[in-house]
Amino acid sequence: MLITFEGPEGSGKTTQAHLLAEYLQRQGEQVVLTREPGGTPIGDLVRDILHDPLHKDMQAWTEVMLYSASRAQLVAQVIRPALAAGKQVICDRYYDSTLAYQGYGRGLDLAALVSITQLATGGLAPDLTLCLDIAAERGLQRRLLGGGEWNRMDQEALAFHRRVRAGYLELAGLEPARWIVVDADRSAGEVQEMVRRLVAGRMQG
């Protein structure tokens, strides 16, 4: 299965993706855990360009092309080979991030974004997408207090992050068979318990 984690800033995706990967490994699964942007040597270099807070003049479509470039490399080099080898793949963000951030957040044309995404992924869709939902203010507050990376996207206005969150909820509503929205404004342990239950249910089903 290809399982993706999505959600606004500070929703705890990275922690949850790691915990799920460890759990599935303990269950005897072969797991590949990766992330976007990045996950390959080329993608990690693209990530540095994308997230450098000094790159304030980056154009919206440049941003789309760079996220898509990282994604094309990740799908070809990591995700498809792992799925072909029968492994479970967990990805911390995937193309829904482009729809949420560049589409709903920046207001770019969603149909055009879907086309670019199709090119980058060769049409590879996740089997399950877990959206860790949290209010934009709460997520950004967590992110600030967490003391981790504060990147070019984090410094966007609150209104932008609110549009991203609303976009995720709309995307989830459009494809309910693929998406599950999880309330992420709880402890990491509680969220993980829910995530495991949902993933186990989907794997058995």
User: Mask: binding to ligand TMP, 94-133, rule CB under 6 A, as x and -?
Assistant: ---xx--xx-------------------------------
Coil vs helix vs strand at 129 = strand
165 binds ligand TMP (CB under 6 A): no
Residue from 3, 34, 36, 199 that binds ligand TMP (CB under 6 A)?
Answer: 36
Of 65 and 203, the one with the shorter C-beta distance to ligand TMP is: 65
203: Cβ contacts below 8 Å, ≥ 6 apart: 1
Contact between residue 165 and residue 137 where contact means Cβ atoms under 8 Å apart: no
Residues between 66 and 85 that touch ligand TMP (CB under 6 A): 67
Asked if residue 46 lies in contact with residue 37, where contact means CB atoms within 8 angstroms, the answer is yes
Verify binding: residue 12, ligand TMP, rule CB under 6 A: no
Q: Does 39 bind ligand TMP (CB under 6 A)?
A: no
* Shortest distance (Å) from residue 60 CB to ligand TMP: 10
Nearest CB to ligand TMP, comparing residues 88 and 102: 102
* Tokens 């090119």 -> residue: 119
- Distance of closest approach, residue 112 Cβ to ligand TMP, in angstroms: 14
Q: How far apart are CA 37 and CA 40, in angstroms?
A: 9
- DSSP codes joined into one string, 174-193: H-TTTEEEEE-SS-HHHHHH
From the list 93, 140, 163, 167, which residue makes contact with ligand TMP (rule: CB under 6 A)?
Answer: 93
- Cβ-based neighbours of 58, under 8 Å, separated by 6 or more: 50, 152
Binding interface with ligand TMP (CB under 6 A):
9, 36-37, 67, 92-93, 97-98, 101-102, 153
